[in-house]
A and B are shown apart, each in its own frame.
Chain A
Amino acid sequence: MNWNGKDTESFQQQKEYVDTALVPLVPISFESDMKETASQHEFVQLLTMLLEKQFKGRILLIPPFTYIKQQEEEEKLAALKRWSDEIDNAGFKHKLFFTSDSNWKLAEDKIDGSLVWVPAVPLEHMEDSYKYSLIEDQAKQFVNIIVHKWQQDLS
């Protein structure tokens, strides 16, 4: 489900079925790595949108957790902790954080929830059809990971 009026309304009615929150982690910078952060956003956004489409009935796609790239790591982790606590309180069983920022990968053990790190592919010069099939191929891998995660939870 998406973060919009219609979907959140059905989320509130069907809460017991929607147990997974999908949160993109997106850095922002206006320095030399501005373009890099922007294309990370583009890539992660497309990927999570496709996953949401696939698993609409069980996943809620939350607006990206955005932070300043230069921010101190502790600060970022503390802010993310607030988010994940809030998500826990809302009754979600699974938290999936999607990011292309490799800094999170280094702090993975300090994150409460599953971190999925996907290196961003620069999409800006790509034809739409090619772009779509590339994202789809990537998403297929994660479909299996997510389904596996849910099944683990059952057994």
Chain B
Amino acid sequence: MSKQPVSRRQFLNYTLTGVGGFMAAGMLMPMVRFAIDPVLAHGGKGEYHTTKQKVDELSTKPTRVDFSYEQKDAWYTSEVTQTAWVYKNEKGEIVALSPVCKHLGCTVDWEGSGHKSQFYCPCHGGLYEKSGKNVPGTPPTRPLDRYQTKVKDGFLQLGKPEPQDIA
């Protein structure tokens, strides 16, 4: 092994570059992180909750799917259970509708009280078609919200319910 003596000038050069590099990195890192943060935010759609519903078992008839997750309300953590009416439409897409009536927030029922192929709200008689579209002449003025859906390992995952636009 040959000895390579480091001169004073070289040593100072190395040291200053190193320290300078750290300082520059220290300043730039947060800036870069801030700049790319919107890109890193996953999906921006909030989290998805896994349900116990297997996607293969879904049919064209709406089935009730319950799912629960933890919710924080100030200091109070509670387990929230939510429901969705899930079916496959003609195109084979999964449709997950929120059961919350757009009138005053009751829970609607598929084919409740003998209303064929419609969602029925027991509170004030609101009706919705299978697509979630509100039936004119009944109290609700907007279609049922539709959940964002995802499939993971064959199980259905539901995101946030979002308003639908059906003409």
Of chain B, the residue at the smallest CB distance from A50 is B81
Report A-chain residues with C-beta under 8 Å of the C-beta of B29.
Answer: none
Q: In the bound complex, do residue B81 and residue A132 qualify as a contact, i.e. CB atoms below 8 Å apart?
A: yes
CB of A57 closer than 8 Å to a CB of B: yes
Tell me whether B124 is interfacial, beta carbon within 8 Å: yes
Q: Give the residues in chain A near B79, CB-CB below 8 Å.
A: 128
| Cross-interface CB contact of A55 among B68, B123, B139, cutoff 8 Å | B123
Q: Tell me how many residues of A have a C-beta within 8 Å of chain B.
A: 15
**Given A128-B79, A132-B81, A56 and B122 touching (CB < 8 A)?**
no
| Residues B122 and A17 in contact, CB atoms below 8 Å apart | no
How far, in Å, is B137 (CB) from chain A's closest CB? Answer: 16
Interface residues contributed by chain B, number (CB under 8 Å): 16
State the Cβ distance, A149 to closest chain B Cβ, in Å: 11
Contact with A along B22-65 (1 / 0, CB 8 A): 00000000000000000000000000000000000000000000
Q: Interface code B73-94, partner A: CB below 8 Å = 1, 0 otherwise?
A: 0000001010000000000000
Instruction: Please tell me if the beta carbons of A55 and B124 are within 8 angstroms of each other in the complex.
Output: no
A147 and B122 CA atoms in complex are apart in Å by 7
| A53 and B104 contacting across the interface, CB-CB below 8 Å | no
Pick the contact of A57: B68, B81, B123 (CB < 8 A): B123
Contact at B124–A56, with CB atoms within 8 Å?
Answer: no
Is B103's CB within 8 Å of the partner chain A?
yes
Residues of A contacting B107 with CB < 8 Å?
53-56
Contacts of B68 in A (CB 8 A): 132
| Interface flag for A76 (CB, 8 Å) | no
- The CA-CA distance from A38 to B124 in the complex, in Å, is 35
User: Is B97 engaged at the interface, CB distance under 8 Å to the other chain?
Assistant: no
Which residues of A sit under 8 angstroms from B104, Cβ to Cβ? 10, 14, 17-18, 56-58
Contact bitstring A28-42, B, C-beta under 8 A = 1, else 0: 000000000000000
B: which residues have CB within 8 A of A?
A: 68, 79, 81, 100-101, 103-107, 113, 121-124, 139
Q: Would you mind naming 26 contact pairs between A and B with Cβ atoms under 8 Å apart?
A: A10-B104, A14-B104, A17-B103, A17-B104, A17-B123, A17-B124, A17-B139, A18-B104, A53-B107, A54-B106, A54-B107, A55-B106, A55-B107, A56-B107, A57-B101, A57-B104, A57-B105, A57-B121, A57-B123, A58-B106, A58-B123, A58-B124, A128-B79, A132-B68, A132-B81, A150-B122
Known A10-B104, A58-B124; 13 more pairs at CB < 8 Å:
A18-B104, A54-B107, A55-B107, A55-B122, A56-B105, A56-B106, A56-B123, A57-B104, A57-B121, A57-B123, A128-B79, A132-B81, A147-B113
